[in-house]
């Protein structure tokens, strides 16, 4: 028999099957809470359990007194206190067979894949969300849409080639006309449009993709906010889409770009920062980040380092740190 989970301070309740984790049960019921990796790595899904018992492995990302909803399984009925939640319509998620129409090697280990939806169909998503590619063995891979939502007859994915990666090793060979099965949209990394706070976007490698979608969407909607983009990579090749950055630079007088690369000669050639993105934030962001919003995308280690720099060292309100953590391997379904 399923357990009953209530959201504290509301009338909302949803069932959770034995062995199912709290986050999956909520999403299945059309209740979205903050999350990213769904693998116990990013800490985005942390919240309290105010009544009831859970089995929940202690992970490094678990804040004191909280649980990672993507990992914890009820042992009784529960009352939970998520950081935030809202209802969504799970039926709005759609599966498409889409065709490759362009596959560009944007860097030695990054493909920009442009995929066209079937004629007359449109992909509905919010800037910053992601899709899942279904592979023949039934596993899935998650990639953020890099295009803004108004370009809805296609999707653009930025795919880093992971050595030995089941999907990424076939990506460079995909050619126009090849098809993929995708489902979208997923995720709640999105722009807080009601805010006028200055934005600090900190991305590593292909973590650029969802932020590109956010910024192109802002440009389309005429949203004007001060934006600083810190884009990190091993060398200049890893900052693979300078034309997009140049567009924003021309469009917004309040736009600042700081490339951060580990190769000293490339850092000098780019006029950027030599080192990691979190150190670039320490060196160049305002001494206090109160009143800012930070949008951060990349590996778990990189996002954790930027979170520490912004929240622990610069006084950013933790509620204003929004992250999308890229964890290689099969997507949670
Ligand atoms: S730790 Fe739960 S979503 Fe990342």
pLDDT tens by residue, 184-214: 998 889 999 999 999 999 999 999 999 999 9
User: What is the position in ligand 1's atom list of the atom closest to the CA of 35?
Assistant: 3
Report CA(155)–ligand 1 centroid distance (Å).
Answer: 25
Q: Which of 68, 84, 187, 324 to mutate to test the pocket of ligand 1 (most atoms within 8 A of CB)?
A: 68
pTM above 0.75, yes or no: yes
Compute the distance from residue 85 Cα to the ligand 1 centre, in Å.
15
- Report, as an integer, the average pLDDT of 162-190: 91
Instruction: Tell me the C-alpha to C-alpha distance, in Å, between residue 34 and each of 20, 129, 281.
Output: 18, 12, 24
From the CA of 41, give the closest atom in ligand 1. 1
What is the Cα–Cα distance from 320 to 312, expressed in whole angstroms?
Answer: 13
Measured by CA distance, the residue closest to atom 1 of ligand 1 is 40
Backbone angles phi, psi at 117, to 5 degrees: -75, 160
Residue to substitute in 21, 27, 45 for testing ligand 1 pocket (most ligand atoms within 8 angstroms of CB): 45
* Model confidence pLDDT, tens digit, residues 104-126: 999 999 999 999 999 999 999 99
Pocket of ligand 1 (CB under 6 A): 35-38, 40-45, 61, 68, 70
Provide the pLDDT confidence category of residue 329 given band limits of 50, 70 and 90.
low
**Residue 134: strand, helix, or coil:** strand
- H-only helix segments in the chain: 22-28, 208-221, 242-251, 264-270, 277-284, 300-307
List residues bridging with 111 in a β-sheet. Answer: 105, 159
66-85: pLDDT as tens digits: 999 999 999 999 999 998 89
């Amino acid at each position: 028999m399923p357990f009953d989970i209530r959201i504290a301070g509301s009338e909302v309740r949803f069932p959770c099957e034995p062995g199912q984790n709290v986050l999956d049960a909520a999403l299945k019921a059309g209740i979205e809470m903050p999350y990213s990796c769904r693998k116990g790595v990013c800490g985005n899904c942390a919240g309290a359990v105010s009544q009831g018992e859970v089995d929940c492995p202690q992970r490094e990302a678990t804040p004191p007194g909280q649980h990672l909803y993507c990992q914890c399984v009820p042992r009784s009925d529960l009352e939970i206190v998520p950081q935030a939640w809202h209802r969504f319509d799970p039926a709005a998620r759609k599966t498409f067979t889409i065709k490759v129409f362009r596959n560009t090697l944007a860097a030695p280990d990054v493909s920009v894949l442009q995929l066209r939806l079937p004629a007359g169909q449109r992909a509905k998503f919010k800037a910053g969300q992601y899709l899942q590619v279904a592979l023949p063995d039934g596993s899935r891979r998650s990639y953020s849409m890099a295009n803004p939502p108004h370009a809805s007859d296609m999707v653009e994915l930025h795919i880093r080639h992971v050595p030995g990666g089941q999907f990424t090793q076939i990506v460079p060979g995909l050619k126009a006309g090849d098809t993929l099965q995708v489902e979208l949209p997923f995720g709640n990394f999105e722009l807080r449009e009601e805010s006028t706070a200055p934005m600090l976007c900190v991305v590593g490698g292909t973590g650029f993709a969802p932020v590109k979608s956010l910024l192109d969407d802002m440009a389309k909607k005429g949203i004007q906010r001060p934006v600083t983009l810190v884009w990190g990579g091993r060398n200049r090749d890893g900052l693979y889409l300078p034309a997009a950055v140049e567009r924003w630079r021309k469009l917004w007088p309040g736009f600042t770009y700081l490339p951060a690369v580990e190769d000293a000669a490339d850092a000098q050639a780019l006029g950027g920062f030599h080192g990691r993105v979190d150190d670039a934030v320490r060196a160049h962001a305002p001494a206090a980040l109160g009143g800012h919003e930070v949008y951060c995308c990349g590996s778990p280690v990189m996002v954790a380092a930027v979170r520490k720099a912004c929240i622990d060292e610069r006084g950013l309100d933790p509620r204003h740190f929004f992250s999308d953590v890229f964890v290689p391997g099969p997507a949670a379904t």
